[in-house]
Amino acid sequence: MSKLKTEREQKNLTQEELAEKSKISVRTIQRIESGTEPKGHTLRALAQALEIQESALQNIMIPALTSDEVKTETKEEQPAVNYALIKIINLSSLPFIVIPPFNILVPLLLMFKMKQRNKTSKQIISIQILWTIMAPIIFMLGIFLKLGRQFTLILIILIILSNVFIILRNAAEIDRKRKLYYKLNFNMI
């Protein structure tokens, strides 16, 4: 039974009475009670008719899941994690550090091919995306400082070595603690 139907019945309203009170068609109410999520005007009108807040009404609209559906959703959200494959995905960026698009594309392709679409592999790719964005910015800032060719060469080497260090440190942490040492608080993919 949907939570909207429960709320409607607690207020002793039929679908027709709620439709009349909210100026929403009975068919729309039936669709919402069967799982369609209301938006905009419909959401506001139903919230006013039921005398509850819109945010509370949005929570009410989520149809109740059976235990089988909950188990299925849990399995889909948490794919099996193979840390040996995660380590390979992480280390696959290493040969392509000097060719920035490939340090993202190769791990991304491996993630899909090895079926490791989990939080850790997404974090690895997000770190590479962030490094690929930040490296040219740091390099350009170094050039604008006009400190000479030696400084520019040292800066390029430091930028590349920073990514090598991040990749190797994360690989070591995957081996030891099955997690990443360097990780972001968000995913870019």
Q: Is there a domain that residue 23 lies in?
A: yes
What residues make up the domain containing 58?
A: 3-64
Q: Is there a domain that residue 72 lies in?
A: no
Residues 116 and 161 in one domain: yes
Lowest mean pLDDT among 21-25, 42-46, 137-141, 148-152: 42-46
Q: Binning pLDDT at 50, 70 and 90, where does residue 61 land?
A: very low
Rounded to a whole number of angstroms, the CA Rg of the chain reads: 26
Give the residue among 80, 74, 75, 72 at the shortest CA–CA distance from 118. 80
Residues 14 and 50 in one domain: yes
Residues 46 and 127 in one domain: no
CA–CA distances in Å: residue 133 to residues 2, 95, 101: 46, 18, 10
Residues 27 and 93 in one domain: no
With a cut of 90, say whether residue 6 has pLDDT above it. no
Residues 100 and 132 in one domain: yes
**For residues 63-72, average pLDDT:** 49
Q: Is there a domain that residue 101 lies in?
A: yes
**CA–CA separation, 186 and 188 (whole Å):** 7
**For residues 23-38, average pLDDT:** 86
**CA–CA separation, 28 and 33 (whole Å):** 9
Query: How many domains are there within the chain?
Result: 2
pTM of the model: 0.57
Q: What percent of the chain has pLDDT over 70?
A: 85
pLDDT tens-digit readout, 109-134: 999 999 888 899 999 999 999 999 99
Q: Binning pLDDT at 50, 70 and 90, where does residue 78 land?
A: low
Continuous H helices in the chain:
3-10, 15-22, 26-33, 40-50, 54-60, 67-77, 83-91, 102-113, 119-144, 149-177
Q: 32: domain CATH number?
A: 1.10.260.40
